[in-house]
Amino acid sequence: MELGKNFIGGHWVEAASGETFASVNPANGEVVGMAPRSAAEDVDRAVDAARMAFPAWRRTPAPARGEIVLAIARAIEKEKESLARLMTREMGKVLAEARGDVQEAIDVAHYFAGEGRRLFGYTTPSELPGKACLTMRDPVGVVAAITAWNFPVAVPSWKMMPALVAGNTVVFKPASEAAIVAAALVRVMAEAGLPPGVVNLVLGPGDPVGETLATHPGVNAVSFTGSTPTGVRLAARAALANKRISLEMGGKNAVIVMDDADLDLAVDGIIWSAYGTTGQRCTSCSRVIVHRAVEAALIDRLVKRIRLLKLGNGLDPSVDVGPVINLRQLEKIDEYVRVGKSEGAKLLIGGERALDGELAQGTFYKPTLFAGVLPNMRIAREEIFGPVLSVISVASLDEAITVNNDTDYGLSSSIYTGNVNNAFFAMREITTGIVYVNAGTIGAEVHLPFGGTRGTGNGHREVGTAALDFCTEWKSAYIDFSGKLQRAQIDNR
């Protein structure tokens, strides 16, 4: 059994209260580790440590900060397998995906290490003689990183690596369901050479830990990944404190399959997007919008492939689909399946908890497929966050795009087509933050901005150079070497 602790000011410590909670493997009920059940007092200590470390870290040259982030990348790489196995035990995703999760953190760290030498501003001519104009980036201060359990190494890295290379200090609050692997990640980062207080870890429930961070006067910016209701609530509270906040929230992502699509390729992408990570990604495909000319053929292929999916413990290399994160989420998924049937959708396969043999020890739900789904049904509009896929039939590309865009979310979309005109038309008309052509709805790369529209986010983007915009302030500098008073907009007219 692993032991997690808070990491504050360079020291591993228990919660002030001494209380703990168990982190449990959803595949079999095994207690993976114990973690501190922190409260507001622990948040205060972590924020104080981050604020104390900020002046020196801010003044550390950006290339030197980048060298430390590069050392973190190399350290995570050495621990890739141990982190991946711990992740699978704690939150259930299959081992191949867990390795990919850790690899994404490695890639992010490598990418932002380079930004230590590329924190570019720009120079521009002045409208006045004997005067120069330039811009530079300043760190915002203390950044709170509040993350979900489904990508417990990659997503924290999305938030921490750009913040660190830009000169900020961090207080990291992971989801309780991934507390132990979060502690392991921070241990690797600290041992790679981070000065004390630059990264701090506080484990415990969203209320009070996350809620306190969102309103703490010592926190300058909050980067949140989680559900839309929680994110909106935190944003409202942060706004009252005039605090910068980035929200990465829900999705209701769709794959469009046109009548000229390669159906076998489309099925590959749909199965991976809908049932990878047991449908528990913000980018998971939960809707297939198919041209009615190929609807029957596509459904036939999907049902055959779903029957072949193997459920089980993600450490077994033959397993395709792991458990749902916990019983509460499993019950939510099952309730949505009942809603879908009551709305008149046709359940083709799945639709129930998996209780065969060892599966009964965990929270497994059979991969589920509905046909005959209408765009206004709840299962077509609300985020389920599980292995439930709905097929919606349309008559044209225009109708497909209308259905695709008509949701409260706007993260990821995909279109399968053999027509280049269809592809470019869809890229122009789809109103999600990410669009794939002849690929599924998942598979973002770290050098492109990640984020969505509408209820998925609030306009900020993660990874890529866009991530730096959230964790830095632009500063404009004017240098007058004319030796006299010059008044912009007055003396040059």
Kindly state the tokens that stand for 361: 């020890």
pLDDT of res. 260: 98
- Annotation says 282 is catalytic: yes
For residue 190, what are the CA distances in angstroms to 10, 11, 247?
A: 8, 10, 26
Q: Are 414 and 255 in contact (CB under 8 A)?
A: yes
> Which residue type occupies 333?
I
- Annotation says 295 is catalytic: no
Q: Are 272 and 484 in contact (CB under 8 A)?
A: no
Picking from 145, 57, 61, 161, the residue whose alpha carbon sits closest to that of residue 109 is 161
pLDDT of res. 408: 96
Per-residue pLDDT of the chain (493 residues; tens, 9 = 90+): 677 899 999 999 999 999 999 999 999 999 999 999 999 999 999 999 999 999 999 999 999 999 999 999 999 999 999 999 999 999 999 999 999 999 999 999 999 999 999 999 999 999 999 999 999 999 999 999 999 999 999 999 999 999 999 999 999 999 999 999 999 999 999 999 999 999 999 999 999 999 999 999 999 999 999 999 999 999 999 999 899 999 999 999 999 999 999 999 999 999 999 999 999 999 999 999 999 999 999 999 999 999 999 999 999 999 999 999 999 999 999 999 999 999 999 999 999 999 999 999 999 999 999 999 999 999 999 999 999 999 999 999 999 999 999 999 999 999 999 999 999 999 999 999 999 999 999 999 999 999 999 999 999 999 999 999 999 999 999 999 999 999 999 987 7
Look at residue 30 and give its three-state secondary structure: coil
pLDDT of res. 3: 77
Neighbours of 361 (CB within 10 A): 16
Q: Is the pTM of this model over 0.85?
A: yes
DSSP string, 425-468: HHHHH--SSEEEESS-S----TTS-B--EETTBSS--BSTTHHH
Q: Which of 177, 282, 295, 471 is catalytic?
A: 282
**Bridge-partner residues for 52, per DSSP?**
none
pLDDT of res. 123: 97
Q: SS3 for 282-305, per residue?
A: CCCEEEEEEECCCHHHHHHHHHHH
Neighbours of 253 (CB within 10 A): 31
For residue 257, what are the CA distances in angstroms to 158, 209, 253, 368, 432?
A: 31, 43, 13, 19, 17
CATH architecture of 2-249+457-477: 3-Layer(aba) Sandwich (3.40)
DSSP string, 186-220: HHHHHHTTPPTTSEEE--S-IIIIIHHHHH-TT--
Q: Are 241 and 221 in contact (CB under 8 A)?
A: no
Strands 472-480 and 131-139: antiparallel
CATH architecture of 253-437: 3-Layer(aba) Sandwich (3.40)
31-36 β-sheet, strand order: 2-3, 31-36, 20-24
Q: Which of 248, 295, 383, 462 is catalytic?
A: 248
Domain boundaries, the chain: 2-249+457-477, 253-437
